[in-house]
Each structure stands twice: as structure tokens, then as C-alpha cells.
Structure 1
Amino acid sequence: MTSIEVYTDGGNRNHGNYAGGSVKSTDPSAWAALLIYGEHEKMLSDGEFGRTNNYMEIMAVIQGLRALKRTDIPVNVYSDSAYVINTMQQKWYVKWRQNNWHKGSKVVKNATLWQQLLQEVDRFDDLTWNKVKGHATNKNNNRVDAALNKTMDRLEANR
């Protein structure tokens, strides 16, 4: 059986903020997901202002998986986000869940999004997580990066 490939990426344009500074409400952010099944392809992308890169990385996977109707076909998720891939491959979320979405005394960042992602993940029979190098030679990773940048361009133009 052919598997479904889902390439995801998220980004933020942090305009003029100092290194390590927080995202401003005027900074455009976007996600993109490319769904591939055999000869069929579908590109999804959307964005908003004031979200972090990590927020959009998780959102890309949520939206990519949410768009899949068949849950009985093996799915390979590809992301350049170590945050997303490590959380899923190393199952960091298990401890977060056990601790009521806390790490020590602090709430896990993006806890609501992680919960949404896990709801999507639970729908699938066979899901594999794959880390790809960002901004490198992976054609489909470059395609989702270009799509989210187009979305951020549109957000900025329509401000």
C-alpha cells in the first residue's frame, strides 16, 4: 500500500526585534502543509499575525493531518522542526500529559496545540515522524517553505 506523505513547515517574520526578543503582534506568521498520495498533491497554507515559529510548526502538522480523510493508510510526516519531531519521536508529551501539561511549575509552551495535535495523531493507524534538514536539498521541504513565505507576503501586503 502506498503511504501518504505530509511535509510541513512553519515560520514567523520577526521584524526589527532584538535577538531573543518576543514576537510582536504585527509580525506575520504562517504555516504550510503539502499532502502527497501517489500522483495526487494538495498544498495548504494559512497565517496570522503575532504567532511564534514553533506555534506555526505545530499548526502545520495539525492542519496537514486534519486534512487527511483516510486514517488507515500509513502516513509519513516530514518536518524540519526539531521541536515537533523530538516531541513526537521521544514522546515528551507523555510526561507533559501526566503532569497536567506542566514542566515543573510552568505550563508547557503551546500546550493547547500539542493537545490538538495528539487528537489528530490518535486518529491514525500508522504514523511515522521524519526530521528533514531545513533550507537544504529536500525539494518538498523547500516547497512548503516557499508556500508559507507567500502566505506571509500576502499578510504583509493586505495589512
Structure 2
Amino acid sequence: MEPGIYIVLAIIVLLIIIVISNIKIVPQAYVFVVERLGAFHAAWGTGLHVKVPFIDRVTKRVSIKEQVVDFKPQSVITKDNVTMQIDTVVFFQITNAMQFTYGVERPISAIENLTATTLRNIVGDLDLEATLTSRDIINTRITAILDEATDR
């Protein structure tokens, strides 16, 4: 066989490897954020996708499942000047992968700080007895405020 045949075969094998390595399967409950030449291009949902070799890049794999984060206890002062420690557990779900990727530098830290601030404001308006007996009211108010603040 001629040496030219080996070069052609090597090029064909290389092209096949490049094409196969650029086929991406996005699993259920995930969104892949894709950049084209460094700028946001698309958010791929579940299924089979093909990216352009050397031009497209999967930047982030975002889980759109509901997530649970347990934050450290927060020191809170009630309306009647009683200091108490409150544990916070936040359930959240990412609905916009592009905003999650590019909107805030550290999104989990942002959620924690927003939750702590909101919790302090709500508990600061209640006295100790109301704080201890109105867990549902506190949860409802926090949920409404956090939903509004995190919509974008």
C-alpha cells in the first residue's frame, strides 16, 4: 500500500473522532449553557445536540431539579429586642440557566444573603411570641419576597 492511503485513513479517523466528540446528549433535568466564540449562544434542553467543533463550548451544566441548601444559623433580633438564632433551609429551583450562569457571580451565596436579609426584616417586625408561633406566616412572607426578588 502507498503511504498516501495511510494519511487519508488517518484524516478520516481524525474527522470521525472530532464529529463524535462534538455530539452531546443532555440528560433529563439538566440544561447545558453553550457559548459560541466566548458569547452566550444557546441553552440546550434534554436531548441530542451537535456543537460546532472549535467554535462552540459547553460552559456550564445546570441542574434544573429542586435543590435544598441548609444555611448556617442566623442571629436575628425581634421587635421586642430579643436575640435568637434561626436555622434556614432554602428549597430552590433554577428556571433560567442563562441567568443562573451569567446573572450573579456566586448564585448560592446570593441566595443565602438575600434569605438572611429577608429573614431579619420579617422577624424584626414580630415580637418573640409571634416569631415562635407563626412559622407559616414567616414562610409565606419569605417565599413571596424571595420569589419576587429572584424572578429575573
Larger RCO: 1 or 2 (CA < 8 Å, sep 6+): 1
Q: Which protein is richer in helix relative to its size?
A: 2
For the pair shown, which has the larger CA radius of gyration, 1 or 2?
2
Q: Which protein is richer in strand relative to its size?
A: 2
Q: Tell me the TM-score normalised to structure 1 length.
A: 0.21
